[in-house]
């Protein structure tokens, strides 16, 4: 079949239009929406090997799986508990912190607020987002339908974070206070906390953000760490009891995450 000049022009025009539309679609970045994260923690490892922990381990599943919702629009974000995978399998004392802790961030000002439950005591933290030095790699994976690139960072001087972020979601955030990459973190692992975060769903929405609740005592990262260590100094966290010391350090890291 012969193709005349008119048909060829039509084909070329259609091809050019298709390329233009494809490029335009790829250039559309997500600026607001909600992300559901599956958060999985190896609770038996976080409990350490003290005699109390060993006695409790047989009564608990190896992992607790929690789902958190990350809402974002413009330069603001909220991150909070959504639901459990199996609530009945997790005792209440291991659920309270997840259910009651909330994070709010403002990337325009570089500030965040966090309200955390620590064994019945409420800590309200207001501070600047922690600055994390990231190293990017060429490793890639697809998470929740988005192309992601791997990055490695370090928080609290010695705790490594392995993250996968996408520049298709423009807010430079992530679960908790993890931030600073050129896009949104959709997958993350912190080995020293035996915890992983993975986005299972991303949907478009226009969330409404509330002002952080007022609090009598507001801490910074530094004063919160000092206070929690002071409150727990009689819990066996000394050099003669390395298991208790390790457990208390993990609790402080979680508070400051």
**In which band, very low, low, confident or very high, does the pLDDT at 229 lie, cut at 50, 70 and 90?**
confident
The three-state (H, E, C) secondary structure of 219-257, written as one string: ECHHHHHHHHHHHCCCCCCCCCCHHHHHHHHHHHHHHHC
Split at pLDDT 50, 70, 90, the class of 239 is: low
**In this predicted model, which residue has the larger pLDDT, 231 or 153?**
153
Would you place residue 16 in the very low, low, confident or very high pLDDT band (cuts 50, 70, 90)? very low
Do 193 and 204 contact (CB within 8 A), yes or no?
A: no
Query: How many of the other CB atoms lie within 10 Å of CB of 53?
Result: 18
State residue 201's pLDDT score.
Answer: 96
Residue 180: count other Cβ atoms within 10 Å of its Cβ: 20
DSSP-derived secondary structure letter, 215:
-
Question: What is the β-pairing status of strands 63-73 and 32-42?
Answer: antiparallel
Query: Residues 27-37: pLDDT tens digits?
Result: 468 899 999 99
Residue 255 sits at the vertex; the CA angle it makes with 252 and 257, to the nearest 5 degrees, is 105
Instruction: Tell me if 201 sits within 8 A of 35, measured CB to CB.
Output: yes
pTM: 0.84
CB neighbour burial string for 221-233, b if at least 16 within 10 angstroms, e if fewer: beebbebbeeebe
């Amino acid at each position: 079949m012969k193709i005349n000049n008119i048909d060829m022009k039509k084909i070329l025009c259609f091809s050019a239009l298709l390329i233009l539309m494809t490029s335009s679609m790829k250039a559309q970045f997500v600026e607001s929406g909600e992300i559901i994260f599956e958060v999985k923690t190896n609770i038996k490892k976080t409990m350490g090997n003290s005699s109390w922990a060993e006695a409790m381990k047989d009564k608990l599943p190896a992992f607790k799986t929690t789902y958190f919702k990350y809402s974002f629009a413009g330069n603001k974000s909220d991150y909070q508990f959504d639901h459990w995978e199996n609530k009945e399998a997790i005792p209440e004392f291991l659920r309270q912190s997840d259910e009651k802790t909330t994070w709010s961030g403002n990337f325009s000002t570089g500030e965040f607020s966090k309200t955390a439950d620590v064994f019945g005591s409420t800590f309200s933290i207001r501070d600047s987002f922690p600055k994390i030095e990231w190293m990017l790699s060429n490793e890639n994976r697809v998470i929740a339908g988005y192309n992601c690139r791997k990055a490695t960072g370090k928080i609290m001087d010695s705790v490594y974070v392995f993250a996968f972020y996408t520049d298709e979601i423009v807010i430079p955030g992530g679960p908790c206070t993890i931030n600073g990459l050129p896009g949104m973190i959709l997958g993350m692992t912190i080995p020293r906390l035996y915890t992983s975060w993975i986005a299972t769903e991303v949907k478009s929405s226009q969330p409404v953000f509330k002002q952080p609740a007022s609090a009598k005592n507001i801490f910074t990262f530094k004063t919160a760490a000092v206070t929690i260590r002071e409150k727990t100094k009689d819990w066996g966290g000394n050099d003669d009891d390395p298991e208790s010391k390790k457990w208390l350090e993990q609790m402080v890291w979680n508070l400051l995450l």
